[in-house]
Structure 1
């Protein structure tokens, strides 16, 4: 379960002989049915599992233009001064400060893995006094990068259950207290992440957190790895999360966000359906983020690229990246599992599924407002292995289907590739309400030092509030919208907001790293109630753009008052 082992590519390529959409009345005996409930909400779309360890090697590797469709959520990158020589590399790569501009430009936040200041794996030459000196150097380097945002954690050590030299350095839990306090000497605001054990263990986690409570060193984000090989290793995730919550309650710890900062074993991570099973469990379990493990070369987005071109797994994660609005509850059937989301603004249900050989069926319930008939479109990406480029998914067809009692049934007849993955898109018969996405929900965006909240008056039920500013890049508060427009030019941007104060408030507006202007929000009289919007113009390039609305941000003096953001809508 070590991330530094370069494994051989999967040899088996399963073939899809005749996958097509078939009529809703076709025989469905011995069929596994995946059920999607479009009438309920699981959580906002935040692309929980679209992250990775050592995803970025340099500012040009991987090709930055391939990253926006993935909607990267969270990265873990090595420390400033990294000495680890990763898979397929001849020099150390991935320094978190050096690659930070690319991470920010695609909407990702980054945790710094401090232990990778050491060479070798397990780490070589470690002493507690020596490490504390290195910690000082790393933290000072980050503090000197005063304009760098989106660094949201110090991971104090990596896999202590396998890499900590207890014989020479004493118990790890004792060392944790020293390392924690050393970071806090210089940086009292950046969250602390840990313990990052290689596999979840109740006794290990309980002892670690008991010691932290006693010493006031509980991490701000609790992390561990899910590298469970085997056909259903992902099924342990939900029980691990439940066990942690029970420990927190037992010890009186306020519930912490959970980061699974390495997931999937070598025989799973680049099998689309296996990786998808992990993604589905992370969405259900309610973790904050999850990152693909580093089994392959640095700078390949953890194997989603080969020779800087997409593999089959890239397209599964791209379909995940396409999701907007709210995640939907999904009920699995045997090894058939998946994820689904609904963009209620555009009337799109996006389902990604796989894992079961033979004929399968997807049933979507709760299709209110979609009409008596819908259009169902199916695509496929194969289980073709690590070293096979796949230029695009395979289109398997579209069909008009009847909606019966709010439900549509979509059989998928196949000599099915259980290693591959499928995308089903359901829209009204004439297609989505807009050809491209125009409205972007704040709760779907990159939320930095603010909070996702809910309100019945917010579109899709969610918004971002508690947007504050301090004049410090570590704690400044903003929302980054990663938007995609078909053509370059000037767009009107309507911001749907609430301002419960008595006077007009302001925020900074910048896009693609440019200069800030000011957006003003007249009072709306109440917080968390959304019916007002203000408009301004933005000049965007064709393709991907990042639009920042900030109370505080580098190169911005800071806004006044407060405003909550529901969504932005772009109109050419």
Structure 2
């Protein structure tokens, strides 16, 4: 972030901020609805310095994006990025908003320094700062969703080797200090500005030998062609892990898109596609301009053109399904089997192109297809999407082929495919594997709704390792709803969890025993009184201000009626 790194800027200067579209029209994006890639978790929807305090940005603009993960500066931030006159976005101050939006956050520890590139003082100064930041986190006993200390940022060019020594040794020293203070919160890095095989081999070799391996591996994808390189980078990184005998780490790309890319809707669709396709855990839009604007998705707290690409992505539920790009035409797609909705967000080419969607037999002999597009006006102009067409297509051999004429290579497009009748106007079933699972894990099961569930919801000790699942739901009216929970509980006795919503009081839900773990079909029901619009519902084994549940239960879904 906030840099003048040559590998980024010489390409931007060449005017290659978005790939040149193919000269010949007629490319096809193929969507295979029957081929599941992974559960929807909105991998690409995060941001760096995306969230400030107060109404910048408003929670109501954050909810539709289903933000997966953020990287924020630490407690006591002094960083003045991109011309700011006062520090912004303290991770402790914004923690309540981050959690309310269903996101988690890393703390970027070196942003305790005012300047960028960072101005190293001394080891005594750095270690004092680290102690202050970590102890502040430990003192925030009701603050959750801080899931990583990022020890440094872009050490390949911001670490002062002449004064601080070699970075790998500095990593080890800082890691060991933090672990004397906090043995629970994950440590993440090394956060290189680019992917580099040799740097990662040296870093991981040292980290393995010193017992300081990161819990999450982090690097940045900021080159204008980065989305074309993600597959090779992930493959190479996994090979490094195997060669060193290191267990697979989750991968975070916590800065992506060059300065000229970050406001182009079609580029966003490309990044969404590759991050989902190649197994990235979370990805954050880079912070090149104003903080607290969801990285340019909002201007004066209202949507810009790119916002709508992320909003369509945020509407995805169920499973990400396979997309096969052609030339520069690419996109991401999801299938919500409970509502029979296929949602495709795509872009990147100009002229007349095609989207072919296979695997639609379950939607009936014909389907309704709505094609929409974003504007292309950048981060300082408010914008709304345009409905291009609404059509009915016959399904032949389980497939439809949708022509998209007059495409703009900079715009993002949405193809929304539904049955011609019987689709609920609002989402009523919410899959646990699509929700925010904190200190719990996602699994698959043939008996689970949509094939996935959340288990190992076991932690109760403190705010760093308490286990809960947060569902963001959107209802049409303020009233009481019957909430049905699909679950499994093979303890042989009734288990309990806490239930709270919108920051309200806790109540207890009870789960009678079921036959086996990972085998679903059992449900319980309770009543919840929700406000119109977005609500956050938490089911917890342990959470702040809740005494803790008993036994264990796995969560399949919740449904509102």
TM-score interval, smaller chain: over 0.9
Quick one: distance in 1 between partners of 2:147 and 2:510?
A: 28
**SS, match of residue 147 in structure 1:** coil
Quick one: distance in 1 between partners of 2:539 and 2:267?
A: 37
Confirm or deny that 1:312 pairs with 2:305: yes
**1:466 equivalent in structure 2:** 456
**SS, match of residue 139 in structure 1:** helix
**2:420 equivalent in structure 1:** 429
Quick one: distance in 2 between partners of 1:3 and 1:360?
A: 37
**2:41 equivalent in structure 1:** 46
What is the aligned counterpart of 1:397 among 389, 392, 400? 389
**SS, match of residue 40 in structure 1:** strand
Q: CA deviation at 1:219?
A: 0.3
CA spacing shift, 1:139–1:31, aligned 2, 3 Å: same
Quick one: distance in 2 between partners of 1:127 and 1:37?
A: 55
Quick one: distance in 2 between partners of 1:4 and 1:89?
A: 17
**2:283 equivalent in structure 1:** 290
Quick one: distance in 1 between partners of 2:63 and 2:3?
A: 25
What is the aligned counterpart of 2:510 among 520, 531, 555? 520
Contact 2:361 2:395 in 1 (8 A): no
Quick one: distance in 1 between partners of 2:145 and 2:473?
A: 18
What is the aligned counterpart of 2:322 among 329, 335, 345? 329
**SS, match of residue 96 in structure 1:** coil
Q: CA deviation at 1:58?
A: 1.4
Quick one: distance in 2 between partners of 1:469 and 1:93?
A: 32
User: Where does structure 1 lack aligned partners over 5 or more consecutive residues?
Assistant: 13-28
Quick one: distance in 2 between partners of 1:32 and 1:544?
A: 38
Quick one: distance in 1 between partners of 2:512 and 2:496?
A: 9
Contact 1:375 1:431 in 2 (8 A): no
Q: CA deviation at 1:430?
A: 1.8
Q: CA deviation at 1:309?
A: 1.3
Contact 2:81 2:116 in 1 (8 A): no
Higher relative contact order by CA 8 Å / sep ≥ 6: 1 or 2? Answer: 1
Q: CA deviation at 1:133?
A: 1.0
Contact 1:340 1:350 in 2 (8 A): yes
Q: CA deviation at 1:60?
A: 2.0
Confirm or deny that 1:541 pairs with 2:541: no
Contact 1:359 1:411 in 2 (8 A): yes
**SS, match of residue 278 in structure 1:** helix
Quick one: distance in 2 between partners of 1:137 and 1:315?
A: 40
What are the superposed Cα offsets for residues 97-132 of structure 1, whole Å, 9 maximum, x if unpaired? 000111111100011110100011110233222111
Contact 2:321 2:334 in 1 (8 A): yes
CA spacing shift, 1:546–1:3, aligned 2, 3 Å: farther
**1:407 equivalent in structure 2:** 399
What is the aligned counterpart of 1:505 among 491, 495, 506? 495
Confirm or deny that 1:207 pairs with 2:202: yes
Contact 1:471 1:557 in 2 (8 A): no
Contact 2:120 2:164 in 1 (8 A): no
Q: CA deviation at 1:59?
A: 3.0
Q: CA deviation at 1:507?
A: 0.3
What is the aligned counterpart of 1:55 among 35, 50, 58? 50
Quick one: distance in 1 between partners of 2:415 and 2:435?
A: 24
Quick one: distance in 2 between partners of 1:471 and 1:541?
A: 31
**SS, match of residue 359 in structure 1:** strand
Confirm or deny that 1:268 pairs with 2:294: no
What is the aligned counterpart of 1:87 among 72, 75, 82? 82
What is the aligned counterpart of 1:363 among 346, 356, 361? 356
Contact 2:120 2:163 in 1 (8 A): no
**SS, match of residue 361 in structure 2:** coil
Contact 2:298 2:307 in 1 (8 A): yes
Contact 1:507 1:518 in 2 (8 A): yes
Confirm or deny that 1:187 pairs with 2:182: yes
- After TM superposition, the runs of 4+ consecutive aligned structure 1 residues lying more than 2 A away are 1-5, 86-89, 125-129
Contact 2:265 2:411 in 1 (8 A): yes
Quick one: distance in 2 between partners of 1:49 and 1:388?
A: 22
CA spacing shift, 1:3–1:540, aligned 2, 3 Å: farther
Q: CA deviation at 1:40?
A: 1.3
Quick one: distance in 2 between partners of 1:537 and 1:565?
A: 17
CA spacing shift, 1:151–1:4, aligned 2, 3 Å: farther
What is the aligned counterpart of 1:417 among 408, 430, 453? 408
Give the TM-score normalised by the residue count of structure 2: 0.96
Confirm or deny that 1:483 pairs with 2:473: yes
Pairwise CA RMSD of aligned residues? 1.6
Confirm or deny that 1:553 pairs with 2:530: no
Quick one: distance in 1 between partners of 2:476 and 2:106?
A: 32
Quick one: distance in 2 between partners of 1:321 and 1:529?
A: 29
**2:21 equivalent in structure 1:** none
**2:19 equivalent in structure 1:** none
User: Where does structure 2 lack aligned partners over 5 or more consecutive residues?
Assistant: 16-23
Contact 2:497 2:539 in 1 (8 A): yes
Contact 1:323 1:343 in 2 (8 A): yes
**2:160 equivalent in structure 1:** 165
**2:64 equivalent in structure 1:** 69
**SS, match of residue 36 in structure 1:** strand
**SS, match of residue 369 in structure 1:** helix
**2:246 equivalent in structure 1:** 253
CA spacing shift, 1:494–1:307, aligned 2, 3 Å: same
Q: CA deviation at 1:422?
A: 0.5
**SS, match of residue 70 in structure 2:** strand
Contact 1:113 1:158 in 2 (8 A): yes
**2:274 equivalent in structure 1:** 281
Q: Matches of residues 444-463 of structure 1 in structure 2 within 5 Å? A: 444-463=434-453
